[in-house]
Amino acid sequence: MLRLWQHLEHVIYISDTTYELVNLSSQYDSEQAFLDALLLKAINVINDAEMGSIILVDNQTNQLQFESVIGLNSDALQDINFTLKDTFLYRLTQGRCHKTVVISNINAKSPKQYDQFVLPNASTKPICSTLSSPIRIDGELYGMMNLDSNKIDAFSDYDINLVNILTSEAANAISLYQKSKKIELLADYDGLTELYNRKKFDAMILQWQHHPELASYIIILDMDNLKPLNDLHGHQAGDDALKTFAQSLKSLWHPHFLVARYGGDEFIVLCRGPINILEQQITQLQNDLSQLDPAIYFSYGFAQYDQDWANAFKQADHNMYSQKRMKKQRNQP
């Protein structure tokens, strides 16, 4: 009865753990941070687990990568170059990787057979037992969770059952996390250029930190020849030009400054000076894009931004259109 009660307590704990991970998935800045939290939960729930890792699988090449590590030397692990076929999970399941497997005494196995997993430089204590559980998402092997112990026969069938429950629920949590990030991407980024969209940019303005020594500037940039590109070469050429322009802005300033597609062929940047450096960068960008085939031309306007966003935006927009009008006048006969 005591053992049954302990089992129920563990199942409830796992249920609470996965519920927490699923419902708080949006709080993590990256998938790796999410996996770190998952691995920590797993080590806490399995009594003799002292260290572990989550290894991701590249389904194109079958190469493996240690994504999350606890209690192991991550630098030593990164030096290991191995594929799915090198893992004992693959070997002990005849390549199916469909169930959790355990090695109860690594030292008793052939060193050549398990040399990848003895990892003498990866832990301060020798790894004697390892439990490896596959994580499958939408039918494909996403990765595996390895839990390690310096005890022989550390993991029982009971632990296998618990980890099966945990990795099954973890797969749901990871899938939900990935989907939430895709939704966030669609909500915050422009689908064509992958820059911030106007909604996200306007929200990020509120978090902008003014620098005591460097002034903040708004730069509004507007393509001059998007319509001619569409008319002469088709809308795909126009889309390609927008993407090229966006990538150039991203390469120049992201992630230090805020860069967004503000609508149509208009882009906006919130950045810090000195202004002469910013102007040099803009001039160089104009020169570089004008050398492309087809060439990309754009006008721009600067305005210093202190606290009055509306006024600064109006001034930058005015300066941009003034430059655009001057170009048209110069091109008139």
pLDDT in tens, 251-291: 998 778 999 999 899 999 999 989 999 999 999 999 999 99
Listed as ranges, residues in the chain with pLDDT below 50 are: 110-118, 333
What is the structure's pLDDT at 21?
61
CATH 3.30.70.270 domain locations along the chain: 198-331
Architecture of the CATH domain 2-186: 2-Layer Sandwich (3.30)
What is the structure's pLDDT at 143?
94
pLDDT digits (tens, 9 = 90+) for 115-166: 444 455 577 788 889 999 999 998 899 999 999 998 999 998 888 888 888 8
Three-state SS annotation for 235-298: HHHHHHHHHHHHHHHHHHHCCCCEEEEEECCEEEEEEECCHHHHHHHHHHHHHHHHCCCCCCCE
Q: Which amino acid is at 268?
A: I
What is the structure's pLDDT at 111?
42
**pTM (two decimals):** 0.61
Architecture of the CATH domain 198-331: 2-Layer Sandwich (3.30)
What is the structure's pLDDT at 112?
44
Q: Which amino acid is at 143?
A: G
CATH 3.30.450.40 domain locations along the chain: 2-186
What is the structure's pLDDT at 173?
78
